[in-house]
Structure 1
Amino acid sequence: MDLGLKGKVAVVTGASRGIGERIARSLAAEGCRLVICARGEEALRGVAGAIERDGGEVLALPLDITAPDAPGRLVHATLERYGRLDVFVGNAGGNRRKPFVETTDDDWEAILDLNLKAHIRTSRAVVAPMKAAGGGAILFVASIFGREAGGANLSIYNTTKSALISVAKIMAVELAPYNIRVNTVAPGSIRFPGGSWDRRCKEDPEGMARFVAQNIPMGRFGTAEEVADVVTFLVSERASWVSGACVNVDGVQSHSLI
Structure 2
Amino acid sequence: PVAFIVGGSRGIGRGMAERLSREGYDLALVARTSHCLNEAANECRKNGARVLTFSFDVTNSSVLQQSVEHTVNTYGSIDVLVYAAGFFCFAPMEKIPVEELNRIIDVNYRAAAMTTKFCLPHMGHKFKRGAIIYLASTTVQQLGFPGFATYTGSKTALNGFAKGVFEEIRGRGVKVATIYPAMVNSGHGNQLNEAYGDSYHSIRPEEMLQVEDVVKGAMFIINGGDTCCTCELVLQPQKQAVIDLTRYTDTRPFPIPEPAIDRSKKVALITGASKGIGKYIAERMASQGYDLALVARSVGPLEETAADCRKYGVKVAVLPTDLTNMAAMEKTVKDCVAQLGNLNVLINNAGVNRRRNTLTASGDVWDSIIDTNFRAAIQITRASLPYMAQNETGARAIIYISSSVVLQPGLAGVAPYYATKHAVNGFVGGLFEDIRHLGIKVSTICPGLVNTELGTKKGPVENLPGKMLIQCSDCADAVDYVLASSPTCCPISMMIHPQAGVAISIMKMRKALEQKFADAKL
* TM-score tier (shorter): 0.7 to 0.9
1:228 aligns with 2:228: no
* Partner AA of 1:230 in structure 2: A
1:199 shift after superposition: 7.0
Equivalent of residue 50 in structure 1, options 308, 330, 344: 308
SS in 2 for 1:190: coil
User: Which has the larger displacement, 162-171 or 141-150?
Assistant: 141-150
* Partner AA of 1:246 in structure 2: S
Contact 1:71–1:122 (CA<8 Å) still a contact in 2?
Answer: yes
- Per the alignment, residue 215 of structure 1 pairs with none
Report matched runs for 1:107-256 at 5 Å: 107-134=365-392, 136-192=396-452, 194-197=453-456, 205=463, 208=464, 220-234=468-482, 236-243=483-490, 245-251=492-498
1:42 shift after superposition: 0.3
- Per the alignment, residue 59 of structure 2 pairs with none
Contact 1:169–1:244 (CA<8 Å) still a contact in 2?
Answer: no
Contact 1:45–1:60 (CA<8 Å) still a contact in 2?
Answer: yes
1:195 shift after superposition: 4.4
1:7 shift after superposition: 4.7
> Equivalent pairs: percent with the same residue?
27
- Per the alignment, residue 330 of structure 2 pairs with 72
SS in 1 for 2:359: helix
CA distance in 2 between partners of 1:204 and 1:191 (Å):
9
Question: How does the TM-score come out when normalised to structure 1?
Answer: 0.84
CA distance in 2 between partners of 1:185 and 1:118 (Å):
17
CA distance in 2 between partners of 1:220 and 1:55 (Å):
35
CA distance in 1 between partners of 2:475 and 2:495 (Å):
9
SS in 2 for 1:121: helix
Contact 1:191–1:198 (CA<8 Å) still a contact in 2?
Answer: no
Equivalent of residue 364 in structure 2, options 90, 94, 106: 106
- Per the alignment, residue 24 of structure 1 pairs with 282
CA distance in 2 between partners of 1:248 and 1:185 (Å):
6
1:82 shift after superposition: 2.4
- Per the alignment, residue 291 of structure 2 pairs with 33
Rg: which structure is higher? 2
Contact 1:14–1:90 (CA<8 Å) still a contact in 2?
Answer: yes
Equivalent of residue 82 in structure 1, options 340, 343, 354: 340
5+ residue gaps, structure 2, are: 1-263, 507-522
1:138 shift after superposition: 0.4
Q: Alpha-carbon deviations, 1:71-125, whole Å to 9, x = none?
A: 2111111111222211000000001211211122222111100000000000001
The alpha-carbon distance between structure 1 residues 242 and 67, as it changes in their structure 2 partners (threshold 3 A), is farther
Question: How does the TM-score come out when normalised to structure 2?
Answer: 0.43
Contact 1:146–1:163 (CA<8 Å) still a contact in 2?
Answer: no
1:26 shift after superposition: 1.0
SS in 2 for 1:132: coil
Contact 2:322–2:328 (CA<8 Å) still a contact in 1?
Answer: yes
1:28 shift after superposition: 1.1
Contact 2:289–2:312 (CA<8 Å) still a contact in 1?
Answer: no
SS in 2 for 1:60: strand
1:149 shift after superposition: 2.6
* Partner AA of 1:224 in structure 2: C
1:69 shift after superposition: 2.1
CA distance in 1 between partners of 2:442 and 2:462 (Å):
38
1:133 shift after superposition: 1.3
SS in 1 for 2:389: helix
Structure with the greater relative contact order (CA < 8 A, sep ≥ 6): 1 or 2? Answer: 1
CA distance in 2 between partners of 1:161 and 1:204 (Å):
21
The alpha-carbon distance between structure 1 residues 185 and 152, as it changes in their structure 2 partners (threshold 3 A), is same
SS in 1 for 2:356: coil
* Partner AA of 1:197 in structure 2: T
CA distance in 1 between partners of 2:350 and 2:438 (Å):
26
Contact 2:333–2:384 (CA<8 Å) still a contact in 1?
Answer: yes
Contact 1:23–1:232 (CA<8 Å) still a contact in 2?
Answer: no
* Partner AA of 2:326 in structure 1: P
1:154 shift after superposition: 1.1
* Partner AA of 1:232 in structure 2: D
* Partner AA of 1:233 in structure 2: Y
Task: Give structure 1 regions of 4+ aligned residues with deviation exceeding 4 angstroms.
Answer: 198-201, 252-255
CA distance in 2 between partners of 1:163 and 1:184 (Å):
12
1:31 shift after superposition: 1.2
* Partner AA of 2:434 in structure 1: E
- Per the alignment, residue 216 of structure 1 pairs with none
CA distance in 2 between partners of 1:167 and 1:242 (Å):
19
* Partner AA of 1:220 in structure 2: M
1:148 shift after superposition: 2.5
